[in-house]
Amino acid sequence: MAQLIATSGDITRLTVDAIVNAANTSLLGGGGVDGAIHRAAGPELLGACEKLDGCSTGDAKATSGFRIPARWIFHAVGPVWRGGGHNEDELLASCYRRCLELAREHNARSIAFPAISTGVYGFPMKRAAEIALKTVRENVEASGVERVEFVCFNEETLSIYEQLLARD
Ligand code: AR6
């Protein structure tokens, strides 16, 4: 059984096989965790992203980690929250599924996720965390991933994840 844990801090500093970026469809960088990842990985990351020709919402694409400790960066594009009636839940779940598929393809055994879509994109945190955990629990075994870290950027997020992880 894979280990699922919630941690707090900066995702760019983690020693895991893959970290997930909360990107946008251009894959050419932005603010939030995306900006932090590009700053930490260095300018080579932008060069690699330019070759990917963007990414659809709900999908994810892989690059090398360049100057960060993680070997891979999986750039996932979460949905912008538009009230909940525009397929946001399914598109968010799809990001987590696609990242686990990429983990399988790249033989990543440990992966760290930020709370995709919950910053600039406005997805409600608890609802996003429930989707993240459900989707990872359903797909982690098939991916070969042994350790999943949910990286929480503040105390409130950490306590939501800890409560959900303690359930079941
Ligand atoms: N490590 C871990 N989590 C972080 C970090 C960090 N270094 N920095 C922020 N977070 P956001 P989104 C948390 O806005 O909502 C970008 O401009 C943050 O507190 O980064 O998916 C992209 O280019 C929040 O809980 O991503 C897109 O245009 C979570 O990461 C757009 O923002 C996600 O917040 C994507 O918006």
Distance of CA 109 from the midpoint of ligand 1 (Å): 23
Distance of CA 124 from the midpoint of ligand 1 (Å): 13
Q: Determine the pLDDT at residue 168.
A: 67
The CATH number assigned to the domain holding 119 equals 3.40.220.10
Please name the residue whose Cα sits nearest to atom 14 of ligand 1. 119
- The count of domains in the chain is 1
pLDDT tens string 19-45: 999 999 999 999 999 999 999 999 999
Average pLDDT over residues 104-118: 98
Catalytic residue among 17, 34, 89, 168: 34
Ligand 1 proximal residues by C-beta, below 6 Å = 10-12, 22-24, 30-34, 36, 78, 114-121, 151, 153, 157
Active site residue 34: yes
Q: Which domain holds residue 134?
A: 3-167
Q: pTM for the full model?
A: 0.98
Q: Determine the pLDDT at residue 167.
A: 87
- Distances in whole angstroms, Cα of residue 51 to Cα of each of 47, 48, 61, 62, 135: 7, 5, 11, 11, 29
Please name the residue whose Cα sits nearest to atom 11 of ligand 1. 119
Q: Which residue has the tokens 């598929």?
A: 101
Q: Which residue has the tokens 């699922």?
A: 4
pLDDT tens string 116-142: 999 999 999 999 999 999 999 999 999
Q: Determine the pLDDT at residue 106.
A: 98
CA atoms within 13 A on the CB side of 139: 18
What percentage of the chain reaches a pLDDT higher than 90? 98
